[in-house]
Structure 1
């Protein structure tokens, strides 16, 4: 058993003073507040629970910065996707492991302690299954082992190139499976997991999955998380309406039994009735504000959705820039730009924006991934300590401390990060950062030569 003492810690959605916390077998064994440190306790200034990153494509970290050149007058998500397809065409399982480990190490350094890996790169460059169907899932598990992050693996079912079962494009050949092939892959991927890893299921989108296939997938995985891309781009919304007479979120809510175990990733383009219905379903909206801004997807109706009581979590998606605080900040700033007003994502019970966003993301992310929803007895000891000597925290009090981290701290605000009681980050750097980065640099040098 290991004991920690914090001058203050965020327990039960509020700051508590003089907190002594013990950890046994990776989980919080006891919490005492208002107590003195004991001899041998590891001491820190301020502790937050780690956040869940609800949506990641780990391999895309390797192409960060490679798609920022104008290639045509109407550059958008769909032109970016073609660049992404060309990049992934050359990736081996070893490449995926190296790139994803780098992404996961950066996630830990910024306060994410569990990741939902939306994993669709299943097959070899020709589109044929590997001898081990789950070899690519094994590469994700290797990246998790190298970094130490918590993993919720979300194997993706992908069968079509457009709504109504349209044929896939050549660039999608590494993703494709029949239901029977996917069932075998899903079982094999489960065998790659260990510890408190979790597994869910991810029908890619309504453009890649028919209604019949979606129903079969839900039978294949009757419990655990269900994640799906929905309403990310306007073209997707228009094409879905042309196919079905309904918009993507509208169709899912009416036909798929969406409930608390679902995460609708992006859900950017919602009507007022969809906002209310999605909030009432209990599902999580998986928001990725940095990627959505990078791809020009649009602005999620955050103020209206929160006012309706909707749940949300945050993800880094394309991993163009990995920073938990930046994701929260980007959502609030997008609302300010859209509404020309300030402090929109807060309420009377929790008027400080940063704290409100953090608490909502903490609980929504845990719901979406089956992770820890805070520092509590029996939960995984996923902890983040802040460096209170950072200039952004000068004179900070409990009310503004999280706001200062999210809106004012830049780099260097996080000191240590523990995942399941194991310290993975110290003095702001992952303890294996150099070895992980060396593998990443070697991989990218070869891929981009």
Structure 2
């Protein structure tokens, strides 16, 4: 029987006791029953959570982690980091992209992510030419996802310009170059891969890299149910460039020209004024927040408290992958607000006063919407994606159900994830990925080649 009996499980309505979870051969949950009797010969677990959604990833940047932490001659910023990233991206091969992505995905699974949205903009070869199969590198990411067993949303990126005013791409951006037809062609080529474990959407890179007319054409050309993501207001300099170019702030400009809806995810919506907070929350679009990367790059802090008060949807992503842990993203999402407002327990609502519970459930809901997949909850019809915590760890000894997520998110740095089921398959057991050795070996070889090249 494809089943698990949980002493406690986090369901959409909150923690419930004695929950029987069953799933079919297609990887979908068929039964989630609280207050059930434990069947004979069914595995048991103490604490079971829905797997988290990582709504923003540039997988190849995993190999850069920790290598850009040396100061230059002048003040360092996102823009100086970007120059270093460009130099790295200029040399990477499709095989290396696949090996690095598989390593990242295995690490994400070990920490409790079961879904990931790949914002994929490395489309061309090292000379800026299209591959014989234009979807070559996206297919490599899909292959890495299959090898690791993670659920994916692939988002081929529209990247036509270097800056506002349709500035010509720089030589180092040649590998990213696409127009609307290019992106829709890649989306179409990836269509045969769609299924329970993989969805395909699209992503205009930013208002710097794509015009409003292009964004509108991409939205119109993409099947209506597919997700759309965009980088939007990561840096103050980006906001000022938008003001200088069109007289409006990025979110204000996008929302004034494009009818946003729940299939949109605005990544790094960091710098919003009060009107943009209200408008974005009311649109149903998801704010994609990546606290560890936004901190690493010195971006700033998202106005989380008023966004929650306005009923906004948000999710978390690991972006450049200086961390692969949803716990760290959620912890720093809350801690950033505490530092900003100089008080505690900010991310709560009138109905949910436990910060950990609110953050996990809210990030699940927003992440599932951004992924465009049937994930984010333990209920029949959703994907069989779940995380089993190590009930023997001292941090979980004797805790009540309403204390579990507070312990998980805000206590210590041990990884409390023991086992992970993704799409009905056990991909992590006893804290190790089932293909960890082979994936790590390919990753080491890829990184060695990049360093020696």
Which residue number corresponds to residue 18 of structure 1?
18
The answer on 1:432 being equivalent to 2:422 is no
Offset at residue 155 of structure 1 (A): 0.6
Equivalent of 1:394 in 394, 397, 415: 397
Decide whether the 8 Å contact of 1:141 with 1:193 is kept in 2: no
The one-character-per-residue Cα deviations of 1:157-193 (angstroms, maximum 9, x if unpaired) are: 0000001211111111001022233332222233444
Equivalent of 2:256 in 254, 261, 278: 254
The answer on 1:187 being equivalent to 2:188 is yes
1:304-383 residue pairs with structure 2 within 5 A? 304-371=306-373, 372-383=375-386
Q: Secondary structure at 2:402's aligned position in 1?
A: coil
TM-score by length of 2: 0.97
Q: Secondary structure at 2:73's aligned position in 1?
A: coil
Which residue number corresponds to residue 268 of structure 1?
270
Q: Secondary structure at 2:251's aligned position in 1?
A: helix
Which residue number corresponds to residue 231 of structure 2?
229
Q: Secondary structure at 1:90's aligned position in 2?
A: coil
**Which moves more between the two structures, 33-42 or 286-295?**
33-42
Decide whether the 8 Å contact of 1:268 with 1:300 is kept in 2: yes
**Which moves more between the two structures, 401-410 or 235-244?**
401-410
C-alpha distance in 2 between matches for 1:333 and 1:394: 25
The one-character-per-residue Cα deviations of 1:11-60 (angstroms, maximum 9, x if unpaired) are: 12311111111111211111222222111201111100011110000000
The one-character-per-residue Cα deviations of 1:370-397 (angstroms, maximum 9, x if unpaired) are: 2313000111110000111111112211
Which residue number corresponds to residue 142 of structure 2?
141
Q: Secondary structure at 1:412's aligned position in 2?
A: coil
Offset at residue 196 of structure 1 (A): 3.3
Offset at residue 222 of structure 1 (A): 4.0
The one-character-per-residue Cα deviations of 1:294-338 (angstroms, maximum 9, x if unpaired) are: 000001111111111110010000011110110000000000011
C-alpha distance in 2 between matches for 1:421 and 1:192: 18
Q: Secondary structure at 1:114's aligned position in 2?
A: strand
Which residue number corresponds to residue 199 of structure 2?
198
Change (3 A) 1:72 1:192: farther
Which residue number corresponds to residue 102 of structure 1?
103
Q: Secondary structure at 1:410's aligned position in 2?
A: coil
Change (3 A) 1:343 1:195: closer
Decide whether the 8 Å contact of 2:207 with 2:250 is kept in 1: yes
How large is the Cα RMSD of the aligned pairs? Answer: 1.1
The answer on 1:411 being equivalent to 2:414 is yes
C-alpha distance in 2 between matches for 1:307 and 1:235: 27
C-alpha distance in 1 between matches for 2:50 and 2:352: 18
Q: Secondary structure at 1:317's aligned position in 2?
A: coil
C-alpha distance in 1 between matches for 2:127 and 2:238: 27
TM-score by length of 1: 0.98
Change (3 A) 1:177 1:38: same
1:85-164 residue pairs with structure 2 within 5 A? 85-164=86-165
C-alpha distance in 2 between matches for 1:412 and 1:117: 24
Q: What is the count of residue pairs matched by the alignment?
A: 449
Decide whether the 8 Å contact of 1:390 with 1:412 is kept in 2: no
C-alpha distance in 2 between matches for 1:102 and 1:45: 28
